[in-house]
Amino acid sequence: MHCKRRMCSGLAIFLLTAALIVVYMQMNHYNFIVHTDSTHIKELLSESNQTFTTVPPESPRACSCTKCISEKGVSAWFDKRFNSSTQPLLTAKDDNLPQPALSWWLALQQSHIDVKVNEVVAEVFAVLPGTDQDMTGDPSQCRRCAVVGNSGNLRGSIYGNLIDSHDVVMRMNKAVTSGFESDVGRKTTHHFLYPESAIDLPADVHLVLVPFKTLDLQWIASALSTGQITKTYMEVKQFIKADKDKVMVISPAFLKYVNDKWTEHHGRYPSTGMLAVIFALHTCDEVSVFGYGADVNGNWHHYWEENKYASAFRKTGVHSADFETETLKKLVEEGKIRLYTPERTARPINKYIRKT
């Protein structure tokens, strides 16, 4: 009886041990299956994302507008031309401009190739301490800009209040507002000019110099200090009234970029008006364009001129008015700008844009 008890005890221990071994093997087999299945699932997910996809976090918007100019993927035509890394303004750091841009720029109006551009740039920034201005847009804002040309199609347009409602209003050359406020507005924040088209500006306006030659750079430094330069290829203002801290200078590299990408070498170089539009594309979130092109009768003239048959702009051969006009129309088609027509009612040619 005692022996039987020992045998039973041994048998029980054996059975218990065997059971533990079976349980252990099953657990290891389960772990192996789970690991294998997990690995297999991961492999399937890496091979196909048709069913299981990882959604990347939404990229931050370029601005707070409904549509932002710099957003990519909206227009292939625009994305091919627009380069957000191209900076519009010349800064004190640009004492060594890219050689292709520099060579092209110096050849525009036969500037002397022996001119030391780095010394000229240093001369400019010795007079303009505030020119290094940050043009980076604030993504929390919607910066609405109006670019106002000088076309006679503004006469009788009654665009004045609409133009003034924009955050930024850009004008150019010898543009005047006095006496034409109902059509062109009163507000100006940026005024584009070059020595031969210079006018005095109020202290709250940014003078934006478009330099077509090295002498233009030297002129702005002179006109705001010593007054040594009084003539380029014609007599120019010896002094100019403007706030030095608000003066901006368009980079020669930006001029070449507009010539290469936007006017595509039509004309010798882009017009001031075209440069202002592309500048706006780089610094604004929404752009409305007024006063470009011919009037309703097909005539080219300035809105303050009585001679409605002046057409010097089209006859110079320096700029290609036709190509620049087509580029503006394409920007409209691609939804990047609002272009207002020479009609007497204030509405854009974009039929999908609401009246303001």
Task: Round to whole Å and give the CA distance between 296 and 303.
Answer: 12
From its phi and psi, is residue 242 left (phi > 0), alpha (psi between -120 and 50) or beta? beta
Closest residue by Cα to residue 97 from 128, 119, 80, 112: 119
Q: Which long-range CB contacts under 8 A does 185-192 form with residues at least 24 apart?
A: 185/146, 185/148, 185/159, 185/160, 185/161, 186/160, 187/163, 190/248, 192/250, 192/272, 192/275, 192/276, 192/279
From its phi and psi, is residue 39 left (phi > 0), alpha (psi between -120 and 50) or beta? alpha
Residues 100-120 as b/e (b if ≥16 CB within 10 A, e otherwise) read ebbebbbebeebeeeeebeeb
Question: Residue 313, SS3?
Answer: helix
State the DSSP string of 241-271: ---GGG-EEB-HHHHHHIIIIISTT-BSS--
Phi and psi at residue 105, to the nearest 5°: -65, -45
Query: Are residues 269 and 255 in contact, defined by beta-carbon separation less than 8 angstroms?
Result: yes
Enumerate the β-bridge partners of residue 289: 147, 339
Helix and strand counts by DSSP (H, E) for the chain = 11, 7
Task: Round to whole Å and give the CA distance between 277 and 287.
Answer: 8
Task: Round to whole Å and give the CA distance between 120 and 128.
Answer: 12
Task: Round to whole Å and give the CA distance between 157 and 167.
Answer: 20
Instruction: List, by residue number, the catalytic residues.
Output: 269, 319
